[in-house]
């Protein structure tokens, strides 16, 4: 039994419910719930007539119960229904002897698993009917029997709701994974088509030009030199087109990044209220805001301990501002911000923009990402700087901090 607990089956109910592929804090609750066996140990001492034989039988019944119960939770789920049926029968048989219906509760809860909800409810009703019939045969008080039935039904229904929610959550995760897989597959196909259309014709032309120049090299050096010059021009144009295509592949749209942010945050139970569209943005601004939003959401997911995130996109005369506000722990020190905020600051400064951080301790964090309109960004000398160029505290980037 102890070995079963220490080395559970990978497909056991405890691991599946814990959703981790291994034992986690959620999958230890079957063991934690054994604390309610206190009533089994206490029942013989508080009964109408104390007998040592009854005490020994009661305590001896704990071992087969533990074997059935832990096996149901930590063995392969293929055996779950048989083990649950055995535990339910054992609980009914033992009630008249041990004068406690604690085993009935454990069996009732396990009846909810690995079955459709309607079937589980029908089995629970039949099991409670059998328990009531046993109670009437033994002449137990109706008040106590009714309380036992209500307790079993309430705990079982709570577990059933938990199971239904877990199934819906699992289906949602599968759907999200399939959407991401399809999106990645479509993107790979698009990249393949773009590269084929872009490079196929160019490489064929380069092959023809180089072969022609090789043939003309001895007979007509002037013509061969002309072909080589044209070949050089074609190669440079092809290189420029490839760089443009790679830049487009790397770029991420703000709308697409918002969807990714929602998936990431909702996976950790963080609510996200989204951006109201204000029309198409210039490509440079859209890509910069998207990458900054990705970094901001990643920081919130890892460090903020937030429950709500608010995104707001504003367009003012000559200025576009994206605000990312969370209700997390705050307290970001403007003198000790990490590489993530530095990268955002550099990315915005390269387009003539700025980053403002407001992070009072215990009251969340607000990031304000400001960028000038396209014509102003183009006029800025920083707009021609490389996205990854090093920067020494640019004047355009402002980090503000409000003390808590």
Q: What is the pLDDT of residue 90?
A: 92
Tokens, residue 296 = 């901001």
Tokens, residue 64 = 């087969």
Where is pLDDT greater, at 245 or 26?
Answer: 245
Q: What is the pLDDT of residue 278?
A: 64
| DSSP state letters, 39-62 | HHHHGGGGSSS--HHHHHHHHHHH
336: confidence class by pLDDT, cuts 50, 70, 90: low
Q: What is the pLDDT of residue 392?
A: 35
Neighbours of 389 (CB within 10 A): 10
Most confident of 31-35, 151-155, 332-336: 151-155
Whether the Cβ atoms of residue 74 and residue 131 lie closer than 8 Å to each other: no
Residue 217 confidence (pLDDT) above 60? yes
Q: What is the pLDDT of residue 46?
A: 65
Where is pLDDT greater, at 85 or 181?
Answer: 85
Average pLDDT value for the chain: 78
Tokens, residue 38 = 């206190």
Tokens, residue 21 = 């592929």
Q: What percent of the chain has pLDDT over 90?
A: 14
228: confidence class by pLDDT, cuts 50, 70, 90: confident
Q: What is the pLDDT of residue 50?
A: 54
Residue 247 confidence (pLDDT) above 70? no
Where is pLDDT greater, at 253 or 48?
Answer: 253
380: confidence class by pLDDT, cuts 50, 70, 90: very low
- C-alpha distances in Å from residue 259, one per residue of 173, 271, 285: 15, 13, 18
386: confidence class by pLDDT, cuts 50, 70, 90: very low
Average pLDDT rounded to a whole number, residues 75-84: 88
Where is pLDDT greater, at 137 or 253?
Answer: 137
Residue 248 confidence (pLDDT) above 50? yes
- How confident is the model over 261-294, as pLDDT tens digits? 887 787 777 888 877 666 678 878 888 888 899 8
> Of the given ranges (7-21, 157-171, 193-207), which has the lowest mean pLDDT?
7-21
213: confidence class by pLDDT, cuts 50, 70, 90: confident
Tokens, residue 71 = 């096996």
> Going by C-beta distance under 8 Å and a sequence separation of 6 or more, which residues neighbour residue 320?
281, 285, 289, 313, 314, 370, 371, 372, 373
List the beta bridge partners of residue 310.
273, 325
Residue 384 confidence (pLDDT) above 90? no
388: confidence class by pLDDT, cuts 50, 70, 90: very low
> Of the given ranges (42-51, 173-182, 363-372, 379-388), which has the lowest mean pLDDT?
379-388
- How confident is the model over 344-373, as pLDDT tens digits? 888 899 889 999 888 888 889 999 999 997
Where is pLDDT greater, at 302 or 366?
Answer: 366
> Of the given ranges (104-113, 211-220, 361-370), which has the lowest mean pLDDT?
211-220
Residue 176 confidence (pLDDT) above 80? no
What's the rounded Cα separation, in Å, for the pair 52 and 60? Answer: 12
> Going by C-beta distance under 8 Å and a sequence separation of 6 or more, which residues neighbour residue 105?
36, 151, 152, 155
What's the rounded Cα separation, in Å, for the pair 108 and 350? Answer: 64
Residue 395 confidence (pLDDT) above 50? no
Q: List b or e across 95-123, with b for residues whose CB sees 16 or more CB atoms inside 10 angstroms.
A: beebbbbbbbbbbbbbbbbbbeeeebbeb
Domains defined along the chain, listed by start: 2-140 (no CATH), 254-384 (3.30.565.10)
Beginning with the edge strand found earlier in the chain, give each strand of the sheet holding 271-273 in spatial order.
271-273, 308-316, 319-326, 365-372, 354-358
φ/ψ region of 139 (left if φ > 0, alpha if ψ in -120 to 50, else beta) reads: left
Q: What is the pLDDT of residue 391?
A: 35
pTM here? 0.49
Looking up tokens 């200025």 gives: 319
């Amino acid at each position: 039994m102890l070995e079963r607990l220490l080395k559970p089956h990978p497909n056991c109910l405890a691991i599946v419910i814990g959703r981790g592929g291994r034992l986690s804090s959620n999958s230890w609750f079957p063991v934690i719930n054994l604390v309610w066996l206190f009533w089994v140990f206490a029942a013989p001492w508080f009964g109408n007539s104390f007998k040592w034989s009854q005490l020994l039988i009661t305590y001896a019944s704990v071992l087969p119960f533990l074997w059935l119960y832990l096996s149901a939770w930590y063995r392969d789920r293929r055996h779950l229904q048989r083990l649950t049926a055995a535990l339910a029968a054992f609980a009914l048989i033992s009630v008249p002897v041990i004068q406690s219906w604690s085993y009935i509760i454990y069996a009732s809860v396990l009846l909810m698993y690995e079955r459709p909800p309607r079937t589980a409810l029908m089995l629970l009703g039949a099991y409670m009917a059998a328990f009531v019939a046993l109670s009437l045969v033994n002449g137990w008080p109706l008040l106590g029997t009714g309380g036992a039935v209500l307790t079993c039904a309430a705990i079982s229904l709570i577990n059933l709701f938990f199971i239904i929610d877990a199934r819906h959550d699992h289906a949602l995760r599968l759907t999200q994974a399939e959407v991401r897989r399809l999106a990645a597959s479509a993107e790979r196909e698009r990249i393949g088509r773009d590269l084929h259309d872009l490079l196929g014709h160019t490489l064929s032309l380069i092959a023809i030009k180089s072969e022609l120049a090789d043939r003309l090299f001895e007979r007509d050096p002037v013509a061969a030199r002309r072909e080589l010059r044209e070949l050089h021009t074609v190669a440079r144009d092809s290189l420029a087109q490839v760089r443009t295509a790679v830049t487009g592949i790397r770029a991420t749209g703000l709308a697409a990044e918002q969807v990714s942010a929602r998936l990431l945050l909702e996976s950790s139970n963080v609510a996200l209220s989204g951006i109201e569209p204000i029309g198409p943005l210039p490509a440079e601004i859209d890509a910069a805001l998207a990458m900054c939003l990705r970094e901001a959401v990643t920081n919130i997911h890892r460090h903020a301990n937030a429950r709500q995130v608010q995104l707001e996109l504003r367009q003012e005369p000559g200025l576009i501002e994206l605000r990312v506000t969370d209700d997390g722990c705050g307290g970001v020190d403007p003198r000790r911000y990490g590489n993530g905020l530095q990268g955002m600051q550099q990315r915005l400064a390269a387009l003539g923009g700025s980053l403002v951080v407001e992070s009072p301790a215990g009251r969340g964090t607000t990031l304000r990402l400001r960028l000038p309109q396209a014509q102003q960004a183009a006029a800025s000398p920083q707009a021609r700087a490389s996205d990854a160029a090093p920067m020494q505290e640019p004047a355009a980037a402002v980090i503000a901090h409000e003390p808590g």
